[in-house]
Amino acid sequence: MKMKDCLLVNAGYAGKLFLFLFVYFILAVPSGAKVYIDITSPAFKKLPVAIFDLQGEDGEEISGIIREDLDFTGLFDCVDRASYIESASEPFNPKNWTPLGIEAVVKGTVQGGKDLRVTITLFDPFEAREILKKQYKAEKGLIRAMSHSIANDIYAALLKKPGIFRTRIAFVAEREGAKGIYIMDWDGHGIKKFGLKGTLVLTPHWSPDGTKIIYSSERGRHWSIYMLDFISMTEKKVFSSRGVNMAGDFFPDGDSFSFSSTREGTSDLYVFAIDKKRLKRLTSSYGIEVTPAVSPDGKHIALVSDRGGSPQIYIMRPNGRDIRRVTFEGNYNTSPSWASGGDMLVF
């Protein structure tokens, strides 16, 4: 396997970085948790880290995945292994790392067999202590998922925020004229197709716990909303009416979801509670309203409406009140989606 090595760090800024982090620690985190990277700071610099190949079979592959994950975020510099003074088998010694300005070191072992058993330790050379020590066990086939979990734990230990490396993406792809729903890991690995009936399948949306997706499909000249449950691997129709029914985001409660429907004329937005089978209409304008995107806290819905003459992004409350337009440039703005912090929209 080709190693993906990251940039060699310029050791000159290491002292400044440390000073900066120290100040941040005093000012902003009196609770005691050290924050290694503050991405909102104008003085932000990548955090130099050393990630050893884990010792044992598959160790190189696991470490490679961890490095790729961390590297993708643009927040870390995985320091070239040629510059390591310490070897993998030697005990961790902070003095081998502080002169290089390396802020975190990962070492560990793998035991092969039917299951993979991994032990990792994350060290902080400047505080000369272990920040994270953890064991993992998984079937060999889950090596990528396990490596992503380790990367998540390292990320969380250093940033005090959850990582995204176990994220899976549902998408629609067309092959040989038939559209289908596929799922893959966030990094494009492990693409899996779900054999759903019908050739027209659109708009997959995850339930908040990641165990289900809802989507729209045209079957027998009707556009209905279906739900695929990954635990039971069953599909059921959850909403059907005349007109075009297009699945939107789930609400954080995991039971109700937003969608657009042309059942009462032009496309409007609705909420449907699956268990209670309760339908609520949110908009009733003369224009088209589509693609409801529910904010992470469930307190806002972003949508596309052409009530102003062209498709633009609007925001409203989940009951349909307080609707206001948020895009004014260009005459075709669509596909709103919330950042996980709920403070930004992409479209």
Partner 1 sequence: MIIEQKVEVIESKDLEPTKYVETKVATFKDVLFDFDRYTIKEDNKPVLRAASSWLMENPDVKLLIEGHCDDRGTNEYNLALGDRRAKAVRDYLVSLGVPSSKINILSYGEEKPICMEKTVDCRARNRRAHFVILSKGE
Residues that bind partner 1 (CB under 8 A): 179, 200, 202-203, 218, 221, 223, 243-244, 246, 260, 262, 265-267, 288-291, 304, 306, 310-311, 332, 334-335
Question: What is the three-class DSSP state of 115?
Answer: strand
What is the smallest separation between the CB atom of 266 and partner 1, expressed in angstroms? 6
What is the smallest separation between the CB atom of 218 and partner 1, expressed in angstroms? 8
Round to whole Å and give the CA distance between 204 and 248. Answer: 8
Residue showing tokens 């070191």: 105
Do 88 and 123 touch, CB atoms closer than 8 A? no
Do 34 and 127 touch, CB atoms closer than 8 A? yes
Nearer to partner 1, 207 or 216 (CB): 216
Nearer to partner 1, 41 or 310 (CB): 310
What is the smallest separation between the CB atom of 340 and partner 1, expressed in angstroms? 22
Nearer to partner 1, 149 or 216 (CB): 216
Nearer to partner 1, 331 or 340 (CB): 331
Q: Give the DSSP H/E element, type plus range, for residue 280.
A: strand 278-281
What is the smallest separation between the CB atom of 278 and partner 1, expressed in angstroms? 23
Which string of DSSP letters, residue by residue, matches 3-56? ----PPP-GGGHHHHHHHHHHHHHHH-TTSPPPS--TTSTT--PEEEEEPPPBS
Round to whole Å and give the CA distance between 18 and 59. Answer: 31
What is the smallest separation between the CB atom of 288 and partner 1, expressed in angstroms? 4
